[in-house]
Amino acid sequence: MNKLLKRSVAAAAAAAMVLSFTGCKKSGDSGKLVIGGIGPITGEAAQYGIAVKNGMELAAEEINANGGINGMTIEIAFEDDQADPEKGMNAYNSLKDKGMKLLVGTVTSGSCAAVSELAAKDGMFLLTPSGSAVNCITAGDNCFRMCFTDPNQGAIAADYIADNLSAKKIGVIYQNDEDYSTGIFNGFKEEAAKKGLDIVAETTFTKDSATDFSQQVKQVANSGAELLFLPFYYTQAALVLQEAQKQGLDIPVFGGDGLDGLIGVLKDKVDVADGVYVMSPYASTSPEAKSAAFTKAYQDKFPNVEVNQFAADGYDCIYAVKKALENADVKDASISAKDLGDKLKAAMLEIEFDGVTGKTKWASDGEPQKAPKVLQIVVADGKGSYKVL
Amino acid sequence: MLLISNIVDGLSLGSIYALIALGYTMVYGIAKMLNFAHGDIIMVGGYAAFIAMATSWCPIWLALVITVTICTVLGVVIEKLAYRPLRSSPPLAVLITAIGVSYLLQNIALLTQSATPRMFTSIVDGMPPFLQVFKGRGAVFFSENPYKAEGVKSDLTISMETFLAIIVSVIIMVALTLFINKTKAGKAMLACSEDRGAAQLMGINVNATITLTFAIGSALAAVAAILMCSSYPLLTPYTGSMPGIKAFVAAVFGGIGSIPGAMVGGVLLGVIEILSKAYISTQLSDAIVFLVLIIVLVVRPTGIMGKKINEKV
């Protein structure tokens, strides 16, 4: 009996293997283009990876439903890297084994810098949705970016504050063990000096000390700052805003795209975020038509997940790739990854893309050329929404 | 005035560390193992309280009862499944298992609750009752303050959460000390901690005693969870891990195994952390905290209130 069971299991396993092989073969013939994705699906940065993956899948589903790209259907193969460079490189190699022809990724900066080295060596086209550190795409001319770089975002913030707001004395809290936060802060500091803004308080926290903000807020309050600049993510910002309210610090707050998500996380305490400026190319509650349509489609497909800018970046990446593939007139999915990379990197410089995160062109260094959008959170009747400025 | 306000902030953070450290030190003192999953039991408690309080029918007291029950059961189950089979293994094996349990709990929470952070609603509001004559948010002692910029209304505030955390940790400290020294079950614990083999020979059920220790330790984690999430209201699957490690440091600082030591260590750690942030540098505060720890351990290897135990030959 036991033997028989073992045999039948073995037979079933063998049959499954054969079946899966034939499955592979077939998909190659029918013109299925495998687009790789890498990002954290588990671990502390999981919410960003999951959002990008969902956005990519939503776009792929829409594209396939509308006849694909030049007759090819697309398939998303997404691997988890837990925001870890080493795991990212493993994920890249395993995706190549799965027949990846181009990569949309990786989601986080540290991992992206490592993976882009490999992609540059292979000539594999790489478009990172959200890797915002400068060195994410410096490895080769086949690497492109969808989002702003961190220093760039900081500089734009300083320009905006100097040109549009009355505050001259700025208090800053930033996370000094996070590339994203220090990157924005350094860009901000440099531009602020040129624009005559005075940084009167410069305080920091780390991932490990991100629970108690009483001292940072107190120092900003004591410095006489007229505006609080928060270049980090909304989870910690939610705590900072509540601490500021507790201490009675009532000055305007300005933040980068990391602050999108404040309304969702604060829920019934959203009144502390009233008037906060968020510099984000996309906001889930933005009244703009394109953003609103994406938000609705996303929420229909993933009803239990918060939509954020990462999802929009992932979604835009797939459509940008579509546009580039059409521009390069790629019709055959069996093209080698290197040949495809060569065609796409030329096409990327020619296309003009209008997506959920705004209109953009790409410069030869792979950086997107898009105008920033500044939104302001408005709270009415206990509900938060964005106003486009 | 600023100094007092900073010390109050330090007490607020320190009392949370102290609460968590009490659970750590209790389990270490009796079972002689570092339960690195303690911080994650706190996280589970946070989610339990969050989910219970989010329902419309559940009053706060019931949410507290549910949280304590869930954590206690969880602690006992973990002890039975993961630690008991390793009772006679080298301490390192148990330590690694505890780290494994910690990751397991984090990832289960990630799967079931997703990575989306939740804002915990504090169980208390406003200011301590005896200070209610003062108006404003928290208890305001001084309405005017020369150090503050315009627009800042108050200087010294003590929130109800801080007040509660301090009071509760003192009560727990006293109750635990009494329990261990005065009751039969407590004395059995002491006996187990001194010599497990001899305790068994004297007719003490060692397994039951250690299970009881874990039950109490986990119930303390539930209390710490509710107070921590009330003071620092962000809840994620990783909420427990860093405070857990800091509290472990606090327990070592105060003398691991010593219950008043955990309290003293926790409060001191919080105050040192806040004062170094305030007067030296926000960048260096963690380095300073650990520097102080190293100095204390060099001078007193058993911690501030730890007993010196001679190795048995």
Judged by a CB distance cut-off of 8 A, whether residue A51 touches chain B is no
Residue A19 domain-assigned (yes or no): no
Please list every residue in chain B whose beta carbon sits closer than 8 Å to the beta carbon of residue A248. 137, 151-154
The span from the CA of B101 to the CA of A28, in Å, is 43
Identify whether the C-beta of residue A222 lies closer than 8 Å to the C-beta of residue A197: no
The span from the CA of B65 to the CA of B61, in Å, is 6
Residue position matching structure tokens 């330790």: B217
Residue B65's CB is within 10 A of a number of other CB atoms, namely 14
CA distances from A331 to A57, A63, A74, A316, B179 (A): 21, 15, 12, 21, 77
Residue A25 domain-assigned (yes or no): no
Closest CA to A318 of A291, A349, A274, A356: A356
Window 271-300 of B: residues touching A by CB (8 A cutoff) are 273-274, 277-278, 282-283, 285-286
Judged by a CB distance cut-off of 8 A, whether residue A311 touches chain B is no
| CA A359 to chain CA centroid, nearest Å | 16
By residue range, what is the domain housing residue A365? 31-147+292-369
> Which CATH number do you get for residue A237?
3.40.50.2300
Task: Indicate if A276 and A365 belong to the same structural domain.
Answer: no
- Chain B residue with minimum CA distance to A219: B278
Per the structure, how many domains does chain A have?
2
| Adjacent-strand bridge partners of A144 | A127
Task: Indicate if A118 and A156 belong to the same structural domain.
Answer: no
Q: Does A235 contact B117 at a Cβ distance shorter than 8 Å?
A: yes
| Domain end among A249, A280, A311 | A280
Q: What is the pLDDT of residue A371?
A: 78
Please list every residue in chain B whose beta carbon sits closer than 8 Å to the beta carbon of residue A267. 119
Residue A71 domain-assigned (yes or no): yes
The span from the CA of A256 to the CA of A151, in Å, is 11
Q: What is the pLDDT along chain B (313 residues), one digit of tens a residue?
A: 678 878 888 888 898 899 899 988 888 888 888 888 999 999 999 999 999 988 878 888 999 999 999 999 999 999 999 999 998 888 889 899 999 999 999 999 988 987 778 888 888 776 665 554 344 444 444 333 333 334 444 456 677 888 888 889 889 989 999 999 999 999 999 898 888 889 999 999 999 999 999 999 999 999 999 999 988 888 989 889 888 888 999 999 898 888 889 999 999 999 999 999 888 888 888 888 888 888 988 998 888 887 766 555 5
The residues, any chain, with a CB within 8 Å of residue B230's CB and separated by 6 or more, are B120, B122, B123, B124, B161, B164
Judged by a CB distance cut-off of 8 A, whether residue B104 touches chain A is no
Q: Does A218 contact B278 at a Cβ distance shorter than 8 Å?
A: yes
The span from the CA of B252 to the CA of B296, in Å, is 10
First to last CA, chain A: 74
Alpha helices (H) along chain B: 2-31, 38-54, 60-78, 91-113, 160-182, 184-194, 196-201, 206-231, 241-254, 259-279, 285-299
- Chain A residue with minimum CA distance to B150: A224
> Among A98-107, A275-284, B68-77, whose mean pLDDT is lowest?
A275-284
Identify whether the C-beta of residue A283 lies closer than 8 Å to the C-beta of residue A259: no
**pTM exceeding the 0.95 threshold for the entire prediction:** no
Q: Does B119 contact A267 at a Cβ distance shorter than 8 Å?
A: yes
Q: A21 falls in which pLDDT band (50, 70, 90)? A: very low
Judged by a CB distance cut-off of 8 A, whether residue B236 touches chain A is yes
- Chain B residue with minimum CA distance to A223: B149
CA torsion A120-A122-A128-A133 (nearest 10°) is: -30
Q: Does B274 contact A216 at a Cβ distance shorter than 8 Å?
A: no
Please list every residue in chain B whose beta carbon sits closer than 8 Å to the beta carbon of residue A305. 114, 116
- Chain A residue with minimum CA distance to B236: A44
Single-letter residue type at A256? G
Window 176-235 of A: residues touching B by CB (8 A cutoff) are 176, 203-209, 211-212, 214-216, 218-219, 221-225, 235
Residue A48 domain-assigned (yes or no): yes
Residue A385 domain-assigned (yes or no): no
ipTM beyond cut 0.85: no
Judged by a CB distance cut-off of 8 A, whether residue B112 touches chain A is no
Judged by a CB distance cut-off of 8 A, whether residue B243 touches chain A is yes
The span from the CA of A161 to the CA of B208, in Å, is 64
Q: Number of A:B CB contacts under 8 A?
A: 108
Task: Indicate if A181 and A235 belong to the same structural domain.
Answer: yes
Q: Does A215 contact B6 at a Cβ distance shorter than 8 Å?
A: yes
- Total number of residues shown for chain A: 389
Closest CA to B102 of B195, B206, B24: B24
Q: How many angstroms separate the CA of residue A142 from the nearest CA in chain B?
A: 32
Closest CA to A99 of A174, A183, A32: A32
Q: Does B159 contact A246 at a Cβ distance shorter than 8 Å?
A: yes
Q: What is the pLDDT of residues A224-237, one digit of tens each?
A: 999 999 999 888 99
What six digits make up the tokens of A6?
């073992």
Residue A287 domain-assigned (yes or no): no
Q: What is the pLDDT of residues A31-81, one digit of tens each?
A: 899 999 999 998 778 888 999 999 999 999 999 999 999 989 999 999 999
Stated as kind and residue range, the H or E segment containing A254 is strand A253-255
Helix (H, G, I), strand (E, B) or coil at B144: coil
Task: Indicate if A59 and A101 belong to the same structural domain.
Answer: yes
Task: Indicate if A363 and A335 belong to the same structural domain.
Answer: yes
| CA B148 to chain CA centroid, nearest Å | 33
CA distances from A264 to A270, A373, B234 (A): 8, 20, 13
Judged by a CB distance cut-off of 8 A, whether residue A267 touches chain B is yes
Residue A120 domain-assigned (yes or no): yes
A128-148 average pLDDT score: 91
Q: What is the pLDDT of residue B304?
A: 85
Sign, CA dihedral A242-A263-B222-B27, equals: negative
Please list every residue in chain A whose beta carbon sits closer than 8 Å to the beta carbon of residue B290. none
Task: Indicate if A252 and A352 belong to the same structural domain.
Answer: no
Which of B2, B42, B105, B119 would you mutate first to test chain A, the one with the most A CBs within 10 A?
A: B119
Which of B107, B152, B155, B156 would you mutate first to test chain A, the one with the most A CBs within 10 A?
A: B152
